Amino acid sequence: MRDNDETIFEKRLAHERSVVPTIRVHKKKSETSLSLEGEWVTATLKEAAKLLEQTLATLPLEEKLTVETSSLTALDTSGAYLIEDLFRKLTSTGIQLDVAPFSSSHQTLFKEVQKHLPGCKEKVTPPPVWLLFLNRLGEKTCDMQREALFLLSFLGEVILNLGAHIRRPGLLRKVSLLSHIQKVGFQALPIIGLIAFLIGIVLVYQGAQQLKRFGAEIFTIDLLAVSVLREIGVLLTAIVVAGRSGSAFTAQIGTMSLNQETDAMRVMGLDPIRYLVIPRLLALLIALPLLVFFANIVALIGGAFMGSALIGVDFDQFFQHLNLTIKPWTFWTGMIKAPVFAFVIALVGCFEGLRVTGGADSVGRHTTSAVVKSIFLVIVLDAAFSILYSVIGI
């Protein structure tokens, strides 16, 4: 039993010697070397700090000093900081240090500590401008991809709710629908009519000035009819509605989200898409085609006034020539676009409104985003329609 006790005691002493941080000073002729041993960790921080003070006080001044670190059994951030502090103090006295490499794991930790010490930050070379541009472009591309996926998911929810309303018309909130038709439709007539009237005047004026050089002023009526009915009327009306009604949808629903009204609806078992999105979507699907029709008529009337004053064509001649120019598909190519544009404007406006979080600035940001995205998508879809019409020969 005694032999076993002595063996255990010797092992314990050996373990304690390996745990306690130690600095051994070796002198060989004119060379001095330090050997760092033991565990330099937070648990032994107090002993290690005292040991450093004693070593610095008794260390002979030499021009060159070798430091061995192969006997370190453990090292953490605090121990690495103490060792780096020792190296700094020795270097400040003019001693040239020759430090043997740490083990791979200790070397990584020691380098990280050196990087983050005060006054030891590495000089970071800024990347080239073209790389920053590519990085920014990549971030924006990823953001657009995420936005597209969120919008696609929202589109799926809206379509499911529309299907439920088609199967069960009683779910439709008629009072809310009529209220939104009045706001996005009838209240928009003055601004839509004014812009369309001025556009008709501008198109006839510019067309007549160019065609007069060829003696073909009469074809200004053809130019007006085709440009207004196929493109300008529906596109301009959709852009105005996106800025007026799309932004209003975002602001209204966004303010409700900010005041946690949409959360309260969900708690009560009411679906915000059914009660907030569907009435606005259906109202715009009904109102925008009517607004486009109204804008087309007013633009043609504006063109007739300008034609009478500029090229001497009275109203009877103007509308007779217009009757010969306009074909059914000239009218329907523009009108077909209106419900599609209305769906996109309402979808984006409500989508951005439901995403409002944080403070009042979020309402402004999402409202701006809704208008920009709506107008962008309207123009993209208009270009797609033009390509489609060209392919099928309309």
Sequence spans of domains, the chain? 2-116, 169-392
- Given this model, what pLDDT does residue 119 score? 56
CB-facing half-sphere around the CA of 110: CA atoms within 13 A: 21
Q: Could you say which architecture CATH assigns to the domain 2-116?
A: 2-Layer Sandwich (3.30)
pLDDT tens, residue order, the chain (394 aa) = 444 544 433 434 344 444 677 777 777 666 777 777 777 777 777 777 777 777 777 766 666 777 777 777 777 877 777 777 777 777 777 677 777 777 777 777 777 777 766 655 555 577 888 888 999 999 999 988 998 899 999 999 999 988 888 888 888 888 989 999 999 999 999 999 999 999 999 998 988 888 878 877 788 888 888 899 999 999 999 999 999 999 999 999 999 988 889 889 989 988 899 999 999 999 999 999 999 999 999 999 998 888 888 877 888 888 888 888 888 888 899 999 999 999 999 999 999 999 998 888 889 899 999 999 999 999 999 999 999 998 988 7
* 154 and 347 Cβ atoms separated by less than 8 Å: yes
- Given this model, what pLDDT does residue 65 score? 73
How far is residue 4's CA from residue 1's CA, in Å, rounded to a whole number?
5
Structure token pair of residue 238: 């959709």
- Given this model, what pLDDT does residue 269 score? 87
Structure token pair of residue 284: 């715009």
List C-alpha distances in Å: 360 to 4, 250, 256, 357.
Answer: 77, 13, 11, 9
- Given this model, what pLDDT does residue 61 score? 63
